[in-house]
Copies of this chain bind each other. A is one copy, B any other.
Amino acid sequence: MTEKRKAHQASAGSKRAILEAVLSRAVEAGYEGTTMADVARVSGLPIGSVYWHFKNKEQLFVELLDYCYEVWQESTAPVRDMRELLHNTISRSAAASADLADPAAAFWSIGLVFAFERRLEDNLARQRYLEIRRKMFESVTSLLRTTYDGVPDDVAAELAHDMAVMGRALTDGFRVAAAAGDDTDFDRYASLTADALESLVASRLKEYAHV
């Protein structure tokens, strides 16, 4: 193994160590609460190394979001319907509070902080979160659309959009509940939520069938 390769490997290892350090700090302290000194301490590397691997704090968080999103995609089995989707996301909201070391769960927990910190408007990490948020919404919408068989395209599209909007609101809402420490049985409400949305879909489909 050449010297260059060795250096490269060490670099990759350090980079990952830094990302995991910033993850563990970010889920507890958010963006502003996480200091570069913290990250250096937790990762075991000096602060100079952190700045060698990442241009600045902003870029560090951009790459953190990318890293988490990647892990999330890999670790998330494809779902078949809305019920399964809601169960995954809402139960995972609880997990995001309990198991903060899970990058997949932590992603959304960190992201919501960015949604609310309006003063971070120009912050690239915030923009990255919003971008991923949009991507997720689109993919959920098209997934749901495939679940309405034998329905005119425009109706299915509208229905899928509505369910995606409401599903997103519910998911975010239960994340708020988790963050606020509300005493909530997330499994139970994942089911109830699915019941509510499914009955809404049913009545909408019936309505269109009558036209």
* A residues lining the B interface (CB < 8 Å): 28-30, 32-33, 112-113, 115-119, 130, 133, 137, 162, 165-166, 168-177, 179-182, 184, 189, 192-193, 195-197, 199-200, 203
Contacts and interface: CB of A to CB of B under 8 A. Distances in A.
Contacts of A175: 176
A139 to B, nearest CB: 15
A80 B80 CA distance: 39
Contacts of A165: 177, 182, 184, 189
A171 B172 CA distance: 10
A179 B32 contact: no
B180 A115 contact: yes
A189 B169 contact: yes
8 contacts: A29-B119, A33-B119, A113-B116, A116-B176, A133-B180, A169-B189, A173-B176, A195-B203
Contacts of A116: 30, 112-113, 116, 176, 179
Nearest to A90: B169
B30 A117 contact: yes
Chain multiplicity (copies): 2
Instruction: Please list the 8 inter-chain residue pairs (A to B) with the smallest Cβ-Cβ separation, ordered nearest first.
Output: A169-B173, A173-B173, A172-B176, A172-B173, A33-B119, A196-B196, A115-B180, A29-B119
A174 B196 CA distance: 17
Given A30-B118, A117-B33, A180-B133, A173 B162 contact: no
Query: Which of A28, A117, A180, A192: most chain B Cβ within 10 A?
Result: A180
A104 to B, nearest CB: 19
Query: Which of A118, A184, A195: most chain B Cβ within 10 A?
Result: A118
A103 to B, nearest CB: 17
Contact of A173 (B117, B133, B170): B170
A118 to B, nearest CB: 6
